[in-house]
Structure 1
């Protein structure tokens, strides 16, 4: 297992390089570009965002885990913030994204919001968050730089904190179809559920469970109740690996 140095802050200096500059170009058209890809599903992006956060909340609630502080890692223009506030009801939410243009828009769209949005990972507090939530971020980070991103997340989580790692599922045939329709997703390098579990373990996290959702498009929505029978099998278009940062480090 590769353990992470809790006191290291220099790891974040390279983080902005991990996300293509093209995200700055889509800061004002992000939702439109995303909807272009998701049209084939027949759903609006908010449908997927709400389902992801509701399921994350359900898993945490089933363990009687209280979430007071949340980091939305790779928050983009901040479109998940209202749902994180509504569903998780934390005391504090931070959003981080290395795209300066995206963070500028997140701040502009939510003036007076108690949420904090930053574009520099060095500004994120250490051992502060009960939950780090990330969705569709790591397939944009070059494989050689993913360990740096995991280390930043590790640093910001309190001991015993939780990491909700949502990603697009390359094992679902519809995933690449959708991604090919989204300009900033076409060349992304996807991560399989198996690889995600492996990367999390190498970074020191303890994966607790893996769930996959969004198996049926809108036109087959009558079949969606069946997802409850197979969501532990990674067939859905997106999957969640719920992982925990240990309360104590090995050797302590």
Structure 2
């Protein structure tokens, strides 16, 4: 008898009900994750991606739709993320303590440089941009590209990983899928990149997340623990290269201001 079968035979009805409920929650979250890369999906698409029956996918969609997490297009019948997710996501963003402190500084950086400014934190093997102030001068519209990137393709990811060994190791274990022509592809390249970042104090990404686009990032240092956040500029490769020394100085000065303000808050830097 398998362990799963044994667990089913020995579990109480209440335990079985709780396990089923947890599985349903997990399936609903997995379904929402499918929309991270697709604007709209049909029932069959979702069922295939999740490996579940169409009837199960439809029940999940109906429940999520009733709570505003999913919307259905009346003409096509396909589904998309609902406005309630937007509301919750916006609240998560504006209530993030790092973003609250850094926002005035990021606005000033955007105004002074004309570049896209990113504020990012590490999450798993990736980075998440908790604030992005886009500039049309940066050469690429990122509004539809999402707020998460593998850490090895982004200057922010390197800037954090260089001073956060655990984060660097998680990325190494996850691997280095290519994204653009100069993306880090091996563990040895990753380790060499992090050594370079520690040596010069900042990280560069050139043709690694997007072809023709570069970014430069510095860590936001936490004196009481490993680095978990970074501040960066993004723009055309030529534009950043011409101004790199000055941009690095501006970023480092701004990162120190953010770290100082965070340390004055109860609890200090967010983990």
Both structures adopt the same fold (TM-score exceeding 0.5)? no
Query: Which structure has the higher relative contact order (CA within 8 Å, separation 6+)?
Result: 1
TM-score, L = length of structure 1: 0.30
Greater helix percent: which structure? Answer: 2
- Greater Rg, structure 1 or structure 2? 2
